[in-house]
Structure 1
Amino acid sequence: MKDIEELNEAFYNAIESADLDKMSEIWVEDVADRVAMCVHPGWPMLSGRSEVLRSWALIMANTPYIQFVLTDVQTTVVGDVAIVTCAENILTAADTDEPGFAAGRVVATNTFLRTPAGWRLWLHHGSPVLQGDDDDEEEEP
């Protein structure tokens, strides 16, 4: 299980360092019975290694800074499939004219497949966690 969790960390490190070569090493090769799939928050499902890697290239090219702090990491292995669920606590450059940062939270499921080349990422699915404003919360009487 340690090797899967290390590969999961390498996945996030590749995003943080905008290392598309490392990202390419992590994702499974497309074969008839196993096609890479990815769902970024707010995006439609992407299917096929080339489409998935193209999406990461776009994200990396358009994200000047991103950092992930993973929490609630849970790993399950059943045969040749491993599932890692986690919360991605994300800090990124703010999308404004003023310098600064923005934070968000995404829950993710990363599914890995054991291949002859070792464990490879097969599916990444990220779903945003809606953040409520403190001012919007109702106060109890």
Structure 2
Amino acid sequence: MKRAKLQAAIVGGTPDDIEQAFYEALHNADIQQLMSCWAEEDEIVCVHPGGPRLIGPGAIRAAFEAMFANGSVQAFPERVHKIQSLASAVHHLVERVEVITPQGAQHAWVIATNVFHKTPQGWRMVAHHTSPGTATDADAGNKPLVLH
């Protein structure tokens, strides 16, 4: 069943399916799955915390391959706020990232915006923008989870 859902995300799916496949790809250090979440466009863009703006699939792939050379990325999307129209969707969220330190597993917080467009291949990511966050961002608790 999970494999069928993943296949639906790769073939078309919803923005939620593509986002789930994206984070699964990070957890599994699976560059093929990760890149299949992105639109096949030269203008896609990605920004990692403190990093440069990466434009195009080649630059984005190279950055994630370099990350995966150090292992998988255990990023967990939380507090997702969604805005969706007929052909685009924006998900703004807090990523809880597990970081291994000499003292054991610790959590870091990243603020992320994922933008999806409906393409001929179905919904695909066109932008992933992250910046450093704080534990306060994760605890900013009493706001609605979905924006309409």
TM tier relative to shorter chain: 0.7 to 0.9
Q: TM-score, normalised by structure 2?
A: 0.76
Deviations 1:37-88 (A, max 9, x none): 00000101111111011111111112x3532232111221123111111110
Unaligned stretches of 5+ residues in structure 1: 133-141
Superposed structure 1 runs of 4+ greater than 4 Å apart: none
Measured on the aligned residues, the alpha-carbon RMSD in Å equals 1.8
Instruction: Say whether 1:43 aligns with 2:22.
Output: no
- 2:117 corresponds in structure 1 to 113
Tell me what 1:13 maps to.
24
Determine if contact 2:29/2:73 at 8 Å carries over to the other structure. Answer: no
Q: How many residues align?
A: 124
Q: Among the aligned pairs, what percent are the same residue?
A: 30
Which digits, 9 at most, give the CA deviation of each residue in 1:73-130, with x for residues without a partner?
A: 1221123111111110111222xxx472232000100001111000111000001114
Which residue in the other structure is 1:60 paired with?
68
Distance 2:104 2:87 in 1: 43
Which residues of structure 2 form unaligned runs of 5+?
A: 1-12, 137-148
Tell me the distance in 2 between the aligned counterparts of 1:50 and 1:77. 28
Larger Rg: 1
CA deviation vs aligned residue, 1:8-55 (integer Å, no higher than 9, x gap)? 111111011000010111111125xxx110000010111111101111
